[in-house]
């Protein structure tokens, strides 16, 4: 049955991908990428990757759609119509695809437990992590403990990307330097959306609460710093969509926001240094407490918190810098 | 008692699935945007509620049932607001409902 | 019986998808996408029971939240971005 | 036939990859190129997650009565890759915004034409 569901969803996915290619209306295309991500997240759930599905749904359907739309509002919404399909490109794509398909015939079949992927380090993690780390969610223990260096690197990449976006978009032409006249439609329209405002008043706290739950429940179920950060950012983005950017900026001033971006990364690296000073290796959490698993728990909690803070503030400040820019 | 719950959840689930399918048919076949909204309404409220309540009966008195209740509350909180916002945006952008066909018949 | 519910949900997803792909107006697309999002919530809920491990309903909650935020963002853009609605 | 069933997921992943690839090289619009890039990216995610799946396994979270788990390693790699992916896409979008502000267009051929005629 799961097989059939998987195949149906993959067929939907292919359908959406073709539609995205054929459309020239970029607005409709961005809306469809949201659907594409939701479908992909469903497939990840079918394939047992609940943590990944969590992230894909929050990032792909939420943040990515919002960023694409913000870009479109600053640029153009219609692609220049192409002269029929581009045959050269189509040929290249077909040839590459054909070669890749030929390559798949040597690959292990879907779900094969004897596949090379499941022979080396994977079973080791599955067998050892429950006793060594003491966290039921193996994805969290691999992410935060076994591959802690890796995750530190990824967090640093996110931090760097945020810096790049801020450098590119954060100067001149800021909206708050414009006259008050331009602000007017923003305010007016949101006064129309009375129902939305009332509803968001008690919906946004629920989102933030749920974000905290995901953050701290990540050891036991799907969730963790990456997912929680994105959900938190989504809550703040909803607030600024409903109440306007300026109000959101009053609540979280840019200085605090940018400070927190760095703070999260420093908290992660600091946890590593702390374990270094307590007679362990860098990021060896078992040095943090008398008992090994206890130390692992503390370490995972701290670095997940650091990841969560960085991801949430990076996503928020990216959104702010996109939507704070005036259309030229 | 168990049997009653079992059949009740069976009935609710199939009702929900049926309503969803009807709504899907509606969104595909109805003539214009405003009438399609009715079809979407069926699936978002009654269809989802039936399916979720059916699942609740299956999971008994447990954490899963509590989570399903939360999902239902969230759906009830968001889905009508979203539909309302879409309709309002459509109206403000000047999209007119299709009424011509009816006048022709009269 | 979960299979019946699953089939119902999948069929609805397909029909919403077709409407989202064919338009004709932007609002039709948004409506269909929103409905598609609600159906993915049901999909995740039913899938949990179908595969015999229904603990992952947190996922469905995220889908509700993100679907709502996505729809509101799209609508806000439609209002201020001067979208061609056809 | 068993080949078709067992390799279906890979084929769809490759198909999506090629759709993304086609968009990147054939489309002249920079935003469309980025959308193609993110489709390409997601297809790689699909490939990894497909390889991690074990028949009759469940999600790699301990629970009573489950002893076959899918491989958690691809999940970890892809989870971080998704967040890094959106961060890098955002950098790309920021560049697109700046290009639009500076040149007044985001169509590739128009940009090249502007380069050529100073």
Average confidence (pLDDT) over A47-66: 89
Residue A323 has pLDDT above 80, yes or no: yes
* Per-residue pLDDT, A208: 92
Does A229 map to a domain? yes
Residue A228 has pLDDT above 70, yes or no: yes
* Per-residue pLDDT, D1: 55
Chain B positions in Cβ-Cβ contact with residue A196 (cut-off 8 Å): 81, 85
Inter-chain CB proximity D66 and C53 less than 8 Å: yes
Asked if the C-beta of C53 comes within 8 angstroms of chain D's C-beta atoms, the answer is yes
Asked if the C-beta of C55 comes within 8 angstroms of chain B's C-beta atoms, the answer is yes
* Per-residue pLDDT, A192: 59
Q: A1 or C83: whose pLDDT is higher?
A: A1
**How close does chain C come to B106, measured CA to CA in Å?**
28
* Per-residue pLDDT, A61: 85
For the whole model, what pTM was predicted?
Answer: 0.91
**Chains linked to C by 3 or more Cβ pairs within 8 Å:** A, B, D
**How close does chain D come to C52, measured CA to CA in Å?**
9
**How close does chain C come to D4, measured CA to CA in Å?**
22
pLDDT band at A172 (very low <50, low <70, confident <90, very high): low
pLDDT by 10s per residue, chain B, length 106: 788 888 888 899 999 899 988 998 998 888 888 888 888 888 888 888 999 999 898 888 888 888 899 899 988 888 888 888 888 888 887 777 776 555 554 4
Rg (CA), chain D: 20
Taken in order A123, A129, A131, A132, the sign of the CA dihedral is positive
Joined tokens for residue A269: 């690296």
Residue A158 has pLDDT above 90, yes or no: yes
pLDDT band at A179 (very low <50, low <70, confident <90, very high): very low
Rounded Cα gap, residues D117 and A99, in angstroms: 41
Rounded Cα gap, residues A313 and A305, in angstroms: 12
pLDDT band at A181 (very low <50, low <70, confident <90, very high): very low
Rounded Cα gap, residues A237 and A231, in angstroms: 10
Q: Chain A residue closest to D60 (CA)?
A: A138
Asked whether the beta carbons of A136 and A220 are under 8 A apart, the reply is: yes
Bond from prior residue into C24 cis (ω within 30 degrees of 0): yes
* Per-residue pLDDT, B105: 47
Q: Are B and D touching by the rule of 3+ CB pairs within 8 Å?
A: no
pLDDT band at A186 (very low <50, low <70, confident <90, very high): low
DSSP per-residue codes, chain B: -HHHHHHHHHHHHHHHHHHHHHHHHHHHHSSSHHHHHHHHHHIIIIIHHHHHHHHHHHH-SSHHHHHHHHHHHHHHHHHHHHHHHHHHHHHHTTPPP--HHHHHH-
pLDDT band at D64 (very low <50, low <70, confident <90, very high): confident
Phi, psi torsion values for A25, nearest 5 degrees: -80, 110
* Per-residue pLDDT, C81: 59
Q: Which of D61, D89, D113 best probes binding to A when mutated, by most A CB atoms within 10 angstroms?
A: D61
pLDDT band at A180 (very low <50, low <70, confident <90, very high): very low
Chain C positions in Cβ-Cβ contact with residue D58 (cut-off 8 Å): 51-53
Rounded Cα gap, residues A82 and D57, in angstroms: 46
Residue closest to D81 by CA, chosen among A60, A316, A121, A34: A60
Inter-chain CB proximity C14 and A58 less than 8 Å: no
Decide: helix, strand or coil at residue A16.
helix
Does A96 map to a domain? no
Q: Name which of A15, A42, A69 is nearest C40 (Cβ-Cβ).
A: A42
For residue A137, list its beta bridge partners.
D61
Q: D101 or A180: whose pLDDT is higher?
A: D101
* Per-residue pLDDT, D70: 87
**Number of domains chain D is built from:** 1
**Number of domains chain A is built from:** 1
Inter-chain CB proximity B81 and A199 less than 8 Å: yes
Residue D38 has pLDDT above 90, yes or no: yes
Mean pLDDT of chain A: 85
Rounded Cα gap, residues A41 and A44, in angstroms: 5
Rg (CA), chain B: 18
Mean pLDDT of chain D: 88
Asked whether the beta carbons of A306 and A264 are under 8 A apart, the reply is: yes
**How close does chain A come to C33, measured CA to CA in Å?**
7
Asked if the C-beta of D118 comes within 8 angstroms of chain A's C-beta atoms, the answer is no
pLDDT band at A178 (very low <50, low <70, confident <90, very high): very low
CA atoms within 13 A on the CB side of A207: 29
Asked whether the beta carbons of B71 and C62 are under 8 A apart, the reply is: no
pLDDT tens digits along A291-309? 888 888 888 999 999 999 9
Inter-chain CB proximity B85 and A199 less than 8 Å: no
Inter-chain CB proximity A65 and C21 less than 8 Å: no
Task: For residue D50, give the CATH number of its domain.
Answer: 1.10.287.3510
Question: Could you report the predicted ipTM of this complex, rounded to two decimals?
Answer: 0.92
Domain with A163 in it: 139-328
Domain with D106 in it: 2-116
């Amino acid at each position: 049955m799961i097989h059939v569901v998987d195949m149906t969803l993959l067929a939907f996915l292919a359908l959406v991908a073709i539609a995205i290619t054929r459309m020239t209306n970029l607005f409709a295309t961005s809306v469809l990428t949201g659907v594409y991500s939701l479908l992909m997240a469903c497939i990840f759930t079918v394939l047992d990757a609940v943590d990944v599905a969590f992230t894909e749904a929050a990032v792909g359907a939420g943040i990515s759609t919002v960023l694409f739309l913000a870009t479109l509002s600053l640029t153009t919404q219609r692609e220049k119509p192409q002269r029929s399909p581009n045959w050269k490109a189509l040929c290249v794509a077909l040839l590459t695809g054909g070669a890749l398909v030929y390559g798949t015939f040597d690959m292990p079949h879907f779900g094969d437990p004897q596949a090379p992927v499941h022979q080396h380090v994977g079973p080791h993690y599955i067998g050892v992590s429950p006793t060594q780390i003491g966290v039921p969610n193996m994805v969290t223990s691999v992410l935060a403990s076994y591959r802690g260096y890796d995750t530190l690197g990824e967090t640093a990449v996110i931090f760097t990307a945020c810096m790049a976006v801020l450098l590119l978009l954060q100067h001149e032409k800021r909206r708050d330097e414009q006259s008050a006249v331009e602000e007017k439609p923003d305010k007016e329209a949101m006064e129309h959306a009375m129902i939305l405002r009332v509803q968001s008043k008690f919906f946004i706290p629920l989102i933030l609460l749920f974000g905290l739950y995901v953050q701290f429940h990540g050891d036991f179920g799907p969730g963790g710093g990456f997912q929680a950060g994105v959900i938190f950012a989504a809550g703040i983005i909803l607030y600024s969509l409903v109440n306007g950017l300026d109000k959101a900026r009053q609540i979280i001033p840019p200085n605090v926001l940018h400070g927190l971006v760095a703070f999260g990364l420093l908290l992660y690296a600091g946890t590593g240094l702390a374990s270094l000073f307590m007679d362990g290796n860098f990021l060896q959490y078992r040095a943090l407490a008398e008992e090994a698993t206890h130390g692992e728990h503390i370490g995972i909690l701290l670095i997940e918190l650091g990841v969560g803070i960085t991801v949430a503030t990076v996503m928020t400040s990216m959104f702010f810098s996109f939507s704070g820019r005036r259309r030229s | 008692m168990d049997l009653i719950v079992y059949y009740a959840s069976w009935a609710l689930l199939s009702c929900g699935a049926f309503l969803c399918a009807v709504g899907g048919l509606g969104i595909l076949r109805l003539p214009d945007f405003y009438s399609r909204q009715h079809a979407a309404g069926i699936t978002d409220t009654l269809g989802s509620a039936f399916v979720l309540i059916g699942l609740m009966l299956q999971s008994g008195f447990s954490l899963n049932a509590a989570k399903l209740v939360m999902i239902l509350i969230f759906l009830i909180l968001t889905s009508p607001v979203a539909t309302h916002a879409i309709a309002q945006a459509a109206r403000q952008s000047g999209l007119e409902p299709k009424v011509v066909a009816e006048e022709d018949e009269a | 019986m979960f299979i019946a519910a699953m089939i119902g949900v999948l069929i609805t997803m397909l029909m919403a998808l077709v409407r989202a792909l064919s338009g004709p107006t932007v609002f039709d697309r948004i409506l269909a996408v929103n409905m598609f999002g609600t159906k993915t919530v049901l999909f995740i809920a039913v899938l949990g029971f179908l595969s015999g491990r229904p603990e992952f309903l947190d996922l469905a909650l995220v889908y509700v939240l993100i679907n709502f935020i996505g729809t509101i963002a799209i609508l806000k853009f439609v209002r201020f971005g001067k979208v061609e609605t056809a | 036939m068993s080949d078709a069933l067992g390799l279906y997921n890979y084929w769809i992943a490759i198909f999506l990859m090629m759709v993304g690839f086609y968009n990147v090289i054939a489309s002249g619009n920079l935003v469309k190129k980025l959308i193609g890039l993110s489709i390409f990216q997601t297809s790689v995610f699909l490939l990894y997650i497909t390889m991690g799946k074990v028949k009759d396994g469940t999600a790699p979270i301990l629970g009573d009565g489950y002893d076959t788990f899918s491989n958690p390693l691809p999940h970890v790699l892809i989870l971080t890759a998704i967040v890094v992916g959106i961060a890098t896409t955002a950098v790309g979008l920021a560049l697109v915004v700046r290009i639009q502000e500076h040149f007044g267009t985001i169509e590739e051929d128009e940009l090249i034409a502007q380069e050529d005629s100073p």
